[in-house]
Chain A
């Protein structure tokens, strides 16, 4: 795919301009009060997901037959589930699964969406028309319903949930990148590059993509939280992560059936809530940093 070249060429740009910009974005996020809170939440989550093996007091799939549906105590901090598994450990390992799915899905939709958007916006004419009608058609589906349909076709598992979430989010990226590309394409420096005989690939990679990528990243961080909700909803319905792999959505679905065990439906939900909150805070802050006009 051409997009692989696109990103790698812009990474190798000798001017180091993009690096300075990402650093600026990170600094801006940290200076933003709510953005900093979001960064901290996300950092903790990443640490938890990476270090679940050491942090978890129990094996997340180990069954303690004598401790079924135990309320939270000093041994099982979040209690145990209907099979006698430690919920605290399962929530920690659930972070790993959820973050993996979300990161991979958003990255995939970003890459495909950006490729479609760049091609569409730069090539114009019938290519643009065709690609955009397909994107419009996909966008007409409610995200969750389309994800359900895709998982139904591919079969319920982790990888397919990831693909479904990626497909659902692709049109948004494509539209955004296309719109920006249309504007940038007409700017003088791009016209100049074209006049000097630069190839379309070079123009897109060196001139168009770098000036579009900032907004794409912000959009990506805003989409990450929606992706997490979709992932949990799929798992909740039993169409995402399959047991015994711990997943927050699936834990909620089983927890719902055990009304006497409140801890089964409180802690996994709280985990989803905090993660979405953190991602939303970062997304909002990133938007403020990139576009000062929206600052409130």
Chain B
């Protein structure tokens, strides 16, 4: 396990390096003079020049990258060009929103996708299987932002059951928080459920056709145990991988979904940063998002190792 961990971390380091270069390059190339963002249109060239020096913008790009990296590694992501608020503090305030949305969405996707996938695999070519396949196909084609709008229309406007938008931290009012999170997590999770359904169905079908399942059935193990203990356990492996690999898509979905439901997460932070040309904010938020994806992928690999001895020993 330790060896697996070490080798995976060794693989991640070059990825992180390229990725940090990309984040820096992207935002460093952002059109528009950052001094305009800070000083406004009416500042004199002299004032601009002073600020450029102060911000280190007169130095060559590779040096600026090293500077930025050094500060980033020590936890200083600079300040918002607009509000002068430290970016680290902004991220700390917004990260919980995105993390909660992502976790809840993953939960929703798994709770819908895995049971339906199993149900379809247990009775292949039945009406259940057909219904699940059609649902999965439709679900994968449904643009999630449209699903979000439809959910608001149905549950907030027509039925009035749930609030259409807003956010309350979970530690302030857990019930209110969860009520507000229902629609966003259905939006993001629903989009992923179809894929999980499909993956579970095919993994389960494959597993149930194998010799050890036949042996278990032959020696009289109850069907429930066969399915859950023997079948599900090995069928879940590829499903876990798919869920983990989808975390990137999930976070991407969360970014747009946050803007639909006015959730103050990293997604709205990036989008607002883009519209306000606030490159410190974009840099910080982007870096956090990508780091999160890399970490989740790493965790997926390790979970795989825990579930499958062969990977662990390799």
Contact = CB atoms under 8 A, between A and B. Distances in A.
**Is chain A's binding surface mostly helix, strand, loop or mixed?**
helix
A276 B143 contact: yes
Nearest to B271: A237
A269 B273 CA distance: 27
Given A133-B18, A152-B274, A141 B256 contact: no
B69 to A, nearest CB: 14
Given A137-B18, A142-B293, A148-B255, A236 B145 contact: yes
Given A259-B153, A280-B137, A141 B271 contact: no
Interface residues of A, number: 43
Contacts of B142: 273, 276
A155 interface: yes
Given A141-B290, A143-B248, A229 B255 contact: no
A232 B253 CA distance: 12
Shortest Cβ-Cβ A-B pairs, 8 listed: A137-B18, A144-B252, A269-B146, A142-B252, A277-B141, A142-B248, A152-B274, A276-B141
Given A145-B255, A149-B282, A262 B149 contact: no
Nearest to A138: B22
Given A140-B15, A141-B293, A149 B249 contact: no
Nearest to B133: A296
A151 B277 CA distance: 12
Interface in B188-230: 202
Interface in A270-292: 272-274, 276-277, 280-281
B141 A237 contact: no
16 contacts: A136-B14, A137-B17, A140-B248, A144-B253, A153-B27, A153-B29, A232-B143, A232-B145, A249-B145, A255-B149, A269-B143, A276-B142, A276-B143, A277-B138, A280-B137, A280-B141
B30 A152 contact: yes
B31 A155 contact: yes
B114 interface: no
Contacts of A138: 18, 22
Interface residues of B, number: 51
A265 interface: yes
Contact of A237 (B18, B248, B256): B256
A95 interface: no
A236 B148 CA distance: 12
B101 interface: no
B140 interface: yes
Contacts of B43: none
A142 B251 contact: yes
A229 B14 contact: no
Nearest to A249: B145
A137 B286 contact: no
Interface of A: 133-134, 136-138, 140-145, 148-155, 225, 229, 232-233, 236-239, 249, 252, 255-256, 259, 262, 265, 269, 272-274, 276-277, 280-281, 296
B36 interface: no
Contact of B146 (A142, A154, A273, A277): A273
Contacts of B255: 142, 144-145, 148
Nearest to A151: B274
Given A136-B14, A137-B17, A277-B137, A145 B150 contact: no
A273 B138 CA distance: 8
B293 A252 contact: no
Nearest to A144: B252
Given A273-B141, A280-B141, 6 more contacts: A137-B14, A140-B15, A140-B19, A142-B255, A229-B143, A280-B137
B87 interface: no
A280 B136 CA distance: 11
Contact of B270 (A145, A232, A236, A262): A145
Contacts of A154: 31
A252 B146 contact: yes
A186 B27 CA distance: 42
Interface string B1-18: 000000000000011111
